[in-house]
């Protein structure tokens, strides 16, 4: 009786421990997609959300995809008069618990020198690279519209 009680609380503890390790130490990418563009397009833009649920800071510094000769992190600057421009973003650092959203009209992944332009509906892996973390390679779905609007 006593023992059963003890083992029950032990397994509960083990579960708790599991749950907390699953929570800590994970940097995750969600909602990854690429904007569908005409096949003659020289560039494509990618969007995603990056969450740092680990207990150390991570720095995103680039990306790579086998169908793009070049990939960059870009930002969008809007001036007071409404003029917008793209800027090169060297790196984005996320402290533990922080997240960043790459979305249309803001930060985006810019793929250049494309060998092929994947059409709407296709899924392509893109790897996000970090200075202090393993690459995260995730599927990006090609679509016409922003899934978050």
83 binds, among Cu ion, other proteins, none (CB under 5 to 8 A by kind): other proteins
In angstroms, the CA 67 to CA 117 distance is 8
Compose the 81-110 pattern: x for residues touching Cu ion by CB under 5 A, - for all others. Answer: -----x-----------------------x
In angstroms, the CA 26 to CA 39 distance is 36
- CB of 41 or CB of 99, closer to other proteins: 41
- Our finding on whether 124 is near other proteins (CB under 8 A) is no
Contact 45, 35 (CB under 8 A): yes
- CB of 27 or CB of 36, closer to other proteins: 36
Q: Tell me the number of residues near other proteins by CB under 8 A.
A: 30
Strand partners, 48: 102
Q: How far is the CB of 145 from other proteins (least distance, A)?
A: 7
In this structure, what DSSP letter does residue 71 have?
A: E
Closest alpha carbon to 126 in 69, 65, 72: 65
Q: Enumerate binding residues for Cu ion (CB under 5 A).
A: 74, 86, 110
């Amino acid at each position: 009786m006593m023992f059963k009680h003890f083992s029950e609380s032990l397994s509960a503890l083990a579960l708790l421990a599991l749950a907390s390790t699953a929570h800590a130490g994970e940097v995750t990418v969600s909602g990854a997609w690429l904007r569908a563009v005409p096949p003659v397009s020289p560039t494509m833009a990618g969007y995603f959300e990056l969450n740092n649920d680990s207990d150390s800071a991570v720095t995103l510094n680039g990306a790579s995809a086998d169908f793009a000769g070049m990939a960059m992190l870009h930002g969008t600057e809007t001036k007071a008069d409404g003029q917008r421009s793209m800027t090169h973003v060297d790196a984005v650092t996320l402290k533990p618990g922080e997240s960043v959203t790459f979305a249309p009209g803001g930060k985006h992944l810019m793929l250049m020198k494309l060998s092929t332009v994947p059409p709407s509906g296709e899924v392509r892996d893109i790897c996000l690279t970090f200075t202090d973390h393993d690459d995260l390679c995730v599927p990006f779905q090609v679509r016409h519209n922003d899934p978050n609007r």
